Structure 1
Amino acid sequence: MKWILYDIGGVLEIVDDHSWPQVLEKSWSVRLGLSVQELRARLDAAGLPDTTLQTGVADEYWRKFGAALEVDDVEVAALRAQLWDAYCGQANVELLAHARSLRGRAGLAILSNSGDGAREEEERRFRFSSIFDPICYSHEQGVAKPDAGAYLTALKRMGASAEDVLFIDDNEAPMRGAEDCGIRAVLHRDNATTIAAIERFLAS
């Protein structure tokens, strides 16, 4: 069986992962009356846990976040919700519809660099589990793209050989990482081109 392996941010979700953190940072600095430099300095000194490679640390992260910025639990909850809205963006409806249409023709899976809590937030918004299995998040696997371990773990979970997988990502480094593992890869730029590449792969 052939597999299509999708990234999330910038592919299944319409969001610019290169810009939203800076936009959010500026919004928070205005909201809290801090300069961006002071906001960064406080958070850098807070000892926040790395949420991208481990689970069960989100509550500690936000507790330390609130203490560092001297805000109460209500404000932390509001800032946390604002982060997830920015992180998740909007569903790429066209590409998700195409993925649904592939059921029975290919296995469908996700490999995404992520933060602790991403599975719950994205499932609530987009119901990815109704289309994709497995969903491989870096914070759950303990390894992130473009590390070879991320792809090898995904292959193991899919029960697939590298040559039977097409990987789709909107960044070149993860795409090259996949190719280094023997996985064919497509750099996502627009839906029409990506869908055409998927169809060619499945017809080959």
Structure 2
Amino acid sequence: MKWILYDVGGVLENVDDHSWPLELEQSWSIRLDMSVEALRARLDSAALPDVTLQSGVADEYWRRFAVALEIDEDAVATMRGQLWDAYCGHGNVELLDHARSLQGRAGLAILSNSADGARDEEERRFGFSSIFDPICYSHEQGVAKPDARAYVNALEKMGARAGDVLFIDDNDAPVRGAEACGIRAIVHCDNATTIAAIECFLAS
């Protein structure tokens, strides 16, 4: 069986992972009446847990976040919600609909660098589990793309051979990492091109 392995941010979700963190920092600095530099300095000194490679640490992350910025629980809840809204963006409806149409023709899976809590947030918004299995998140695997171990873990969970997989990501480095593991990979630029590449791969 052939597999299509998708990244999330910038592929299944319409979101610019390069710009939203900066925009969120700017918004928070205005909210707290401090400079972005001061905001960063406080958070840098807070020894926040690495939510990208660990699971079950989100609550501790936000507890330390609140202490560092001297804010109350209501403010934390608001800012936490803002982060997830920015992180998830909007579903790429066309690509998600195409993935659904592939059910029964190919295995469908996710390999994504992520943050603790992403599984619940993305499932609530987009229902990924009704389309993709397995869903491999960096914070649950303890390793992130383009580390080869991320791809090997995904292949093991899919029960797939590297040559039977097409990986789709919106960044060059993860694509090169996949190719180094023998996985065919493409950079997602637009839906039409990606869908055509998927169909070509499945027909080959």
Q: TM-score range by the shorter chain?
A: over 0.9
Deviation track 1:167-192 (CA, whole Å, cap 9, x = no partner) reads 00000000000000000001000000
SS at match of 2:94: helix
Give the Cα–Cα distance (whole angstroms) in 1 for the partners of residues 122 and 27 of structure 2: 22
**One-letter amino acid matched to 1:75:** A
Q: Distance in 2 between matches of 1:39 and 1:191?
A: 37
Counterparts of 1:117 and 1:173, CA distance in 2: 24
Task: Tell me the CA shift for residue 129 of structure 1.
Answer: 0.2
Deviation of 1:203 after TM superposition, in Å, equals 0.2
Please tell me the residue identity of whatever aligns with 2:33.
Answer: G
- Work out the CA distance in 1 between the residues paired with 2:124 and 2:95: 18
Secondary structure at 2:71 match in 1: coil
1:76-155 to structure 2, matched below 5 A, reads: 76-155=76-155
The runs of 5 or more residues in structure 1 that have no matched partner are none
**Structure 1 runs of 4+ with >2 Å offset:** none
Q: CA deviation at 1:86?
A: 0.1
What are the Cα deviations for residues 16-57 of structure 1, in whole angstroms up to 9, with x where unaligned? 000000000000000010100000000000000000001010
Q: Percent identity?
A: 78
Opposite residue 41 of structure 2, the aligned amino acid is A
CA distance in 1, matches of 2:131, 2:184: 21
What 5-or-longer segments of structure 2 have no aligned partner? none
Number of matched pairs: 204
SS of 1:144 mapped into structure 2: coil
2: CA distance between counterparts of 1:128 and 1:143? 21
SS at match of 2:179: helix
List aligned pairs for 1:62-77, cutoff 5 A: 62-77=62-77
